[in-house]
Amino acid sequence: MLNKLVYNVLTHLKPWNDDKQLDLTVKILNEVPELVPAYSTYCFNTIGANDPKLTSFFIGQNLLITKLLQQDFPESFVSAVNSQIKNSEHGISKKVNIPSSNLIEVVCPSQLTRAALTKSLTHESFLIKHLALQLIVASFQKLEKLSLILSFSDSTMFDSLVSEVVELLQHRLPDLSVLVGALNEVQKKQPDNKILLLNCLTSIQFYDQIFHQTASLNFVNATLQNIENFKGIDLVTLDIYLKLNSNSQNKWWTIPKGMKNSLFTSILRLPYHLKTHSMDTYVIGVIANLTEQTLLLNDYKTSSVLANPAYALLYSLNQFSTFINDDSEIDKVCGVLDEAVSRCVRTPYKYIDSASRLAKDGLPVSPLVIAILEQSKFVKDSPKIILWLKLLMRYLLIVGENSQSLTLAGLEFYKDQELLDIKTHADLLSLYKTYYQSVPKDKEVPFFETWML
C-alpha cells in the first residue's frame, strides 16, 4: 500500500469524537482518495457495521460516512478515465484496470450493510430512519457521479464496470419492500415530516431508475386538501410520487373527496396561492408529467408548437386571478378547467376530431382548448370568463398554437366575441420566436418570466 504513513495516521484518528478529528479525516481522504477503500474496510473490520443506536458514536459515524459520500471524485481519477477512453478510441489500449471492489467502497462503504440499513429503516426512532435514508440517497448520488464520469464522451468502455458496481450496491442496500414499509409508517405516524417523506420517495425513485424495481405506493398528500399551506417541498414530493405511479389508477383529472378541484387544476393554482413565480417551471414539469400519456396538449417536441401549451394555462389563470381578485370568479374558471380536463381525458377523440375539423393548414389546436371553449359556454352569470378566455388565447398564440386555427375555434363557440386579437399580439409572437430560436431545444426557456407577466 502506498502512503502507509498517512494511512497509519488515519487509523489513529477518531472522527466520531469531535469536529477537529472529523475534519482532519475528511481532509486527508480528500487529498489522498486512494486510501478511501482501505480506510472503509479498516473501519468495518475494527468497528463493525453501522448498526443503529442513538449514541454520539453512531451519529458521528453517520456524519463521517455522509461527508465522504458527498465528496467529488478526484480530478486525477477523472483525467485517468478520460485519457483511457480517448486512447481506446484510437486503438491504443482497451484494458480496464479499475477494480469494482474499490469503487463500491467509494459509492457505499462496507459499514453500510444490508442488515444494518434494514435495522435502521425499521427502527422506532424516526431520526435513525432519516439518517439511513440520507445515506442511501447519498450512495445513489455518488453512483450517478461515477456513471457520468465513466460514460465520458458517450463511451461504452466502462459499461460492464458500472454494471458490476450497481450489482454490488444492490446487495448492500435493503430490499425495496423495507423502504415502502418505512414510507407507510412515516405517513401513518409522522405525516407532517416532509423531509422524511421526500427522502423515502427519493430513495424509492432511485430503486426504480437504477435497479429497475417498482412498487405499488399508497401515498396520501393531505396538504393538497389545504392548498394555502402547500410548499415547494410538497410539490417536489408529489412530482416524484406521480412519476413512480405513472401507470397506476391515480385519476388526476377527477375531483377527490374533500378537495375543491382536481389534482391537475390544484397544481395550476399553486403559484397564485403562494404569490410566487419561482415554482412556475416546476409546476409545468409536473403538469407535463401528468399529461405525457394523454392527447390533451400538442407536443412541443414533435409539433409546430414552440413550448408546452401548459404555460398558457398557467399564466392565463395566474393573470386572471391577479386581475379579478375574486374567489368566486376564479372558482368558476377552475370549474371549467376541471370539467374540460375530465371530458378530454375520458373522451379524447371527440375533441381531437373537432380540433382537426377547425384546423387551418393542417395545424390543429390542442384538444383541451376545444374542451375548454365548449365547457365555458355552460358557465352562467359570469361575463368575466371571457377575459380569461382572451388571456388564454393570447398565451396559446405566444407558445405557437396556430393563430388561424385558434380564431376558427373561438368563432365556433363565440361568434359574437373576438377572443383573439391577432394584430395586437402578433408582435409578441414574433418576439418569442426570435428569442426561442436562439435557445437550444434541450434548455428551459425562461421567456415567460421576462415577457408574459
SS (H, E, C) 85-146: HHHHHCCCCCCCCCCHHHHHHHHCCCCCCHHHHHHHHCCCCHHHHHHHHHHHHHHHHHHHHH
Lowest average pLDDT, out of 29-43, 149-163, 357-371, 417-431, goes to: 417-431
Cell numbers standing for residue 16: 466520531
- The tally of CA atoms less than 13 A away on the side-chain side of residue 143 is 27
Q: Are residues 119 and 246 in the same domain?
A: no
Q: How far apart are the first and last CA of the chain?
A: 63
What pLDDT digit, counting tens, does each position of 183-220 carry? 999 988 998 899 999 999 999 999 999 999 988 887 66
The average confidence (pLDDT) of the chain is 85
What pLDDT digit, counting tens, does each position of 296-305 carry? 999 877 777 8
Position 450 scores a pLDDT of 42
Residue type, 114: R
Position 128 scores a pLDDT of 95
Q: Are residues 123 and 264 in the same domain?
A: no
Query: Do residues 40 and 110 make contact, with C-beta atoms less than 8 angstroms apart?
Result: yes
Q: Are residues 308 and 186 in the same domain?
A: no
Residue type, 233: I
3-state secondary structure of 360: strand
As a whole number, mean pLDDT of residues 245-254 equals 73
Query: Do residues 300 and 399 make contact, with C-beta atoms less than 8 angstroms apart?
Result: yes
As a whole number, mean pLDDT of residues 127-139 equals 96
Choose one of 211, 243, 264: the last residue of a domain.
211
Q: Are residues 18 and 128 in the same domain?
A: yes
Q: Are residues 15 and 156 in the same domain?
A: yes
Q: Are residues 146 and 243 in the same domain?
A: no
Residue 94 lies in a domain: yes
Position 392 scores a pLDDT of 93
State the total domains in the chain: 2
As a whole number, mean pLDDT of residues 349-359 equals 93
CA dihedral 6, 2, 140, 285 (to 10 degrees): 90
Q: How many CB atoms lie within 10 A of CB 188?
A: 9
Cell numbers standing for residue 224: 393538497
Q: Are residues 105 and 19 in the same domain?
A: yes
Query: Do residues 370 and 396 make contact, with C-beta atoms less than 8 angstroms apart?
Result: no
Asked if the model's pLDDT at residue 262 lies above 70, the reply is yes
Lowest average pLDDT, out of 83-92, 116-125, 318-327, goes to: 83-92
Q: Are residues 110 and 21 in the same domain?
A: yes
Q: Are residues 164 and 276 in the same domain?
A: no
Name the pTM for this structure: 0.80
Residue type, 174: P
Number of H helices, E strands in the chain: 22, 0
Residue 217 lies in a domain: no
Q: Are residues 207 and 339 in the same domain?
A: no
Choose one of 178, 211, 244: the last residue of a domain.
211
Position 14 scores a pLDDT of 93
Return the sign of the alpha-carbon dihedral for residues 245, 246, 248, 254: positive
CA 267 – CA 270 distance, rounded (Å): 5
3-state secondary structure of 170: helix
Position 272 scores a pLDDT of 86
Q: Are residues 267 and 152 in the same domain?
A: no
Residue 216 lies in a domain: no
What pLDDT digit, counting tens, does each position of 425-439 carry? 555 555 555 545 555
Residue 295 lies in a domain: yes
Residue type, 411: L
Q: Which residue has the higher pLDDT, 289 or 333?
A: 333
Choose one of 158, 177, 211: the last residue of a domain.
211
As a whole number, mean pLDDT of residues 110-137 equals 96
Helix intervals (H) in 173-326: 176-189, 194-206, 232-244, 263-274, 280-291, 310-324
Lowest average pLDDT, out of 317-331, 341-355, 413-427, 433-447, goes to: 433-447
Residue 23 lies in a domain: yes
Q: Which residue has the higher pLDDT, 423 or 164?
A: 164
Position 96 scores a pLDDT of 59
Q: Which residue has the higher pLDDT, 86 or 65?
A: 65
CA 194 – CA 278 distance, rounded (Å): 20
As a whole number, mean pLDDT of residues 258-272 equals 87
As a whole number, mean pLDDT of residues 273-287 equals 83
CA 252 – CA 238 distance, rounded (Å): 12
Domain that holds residue 401: 222-451
Position 38 scores a pLDDT of 92
Query: Do residues 388 and 292 make contact, with C-beta atoms less than 8 angstroms apart?
Result: no
Q: Are residues 135 and 155 in the same domain?
A: yes
Residue 261 vs residues 256, 271, 284: alpha-carbon distances, Å:
8, 15, 18
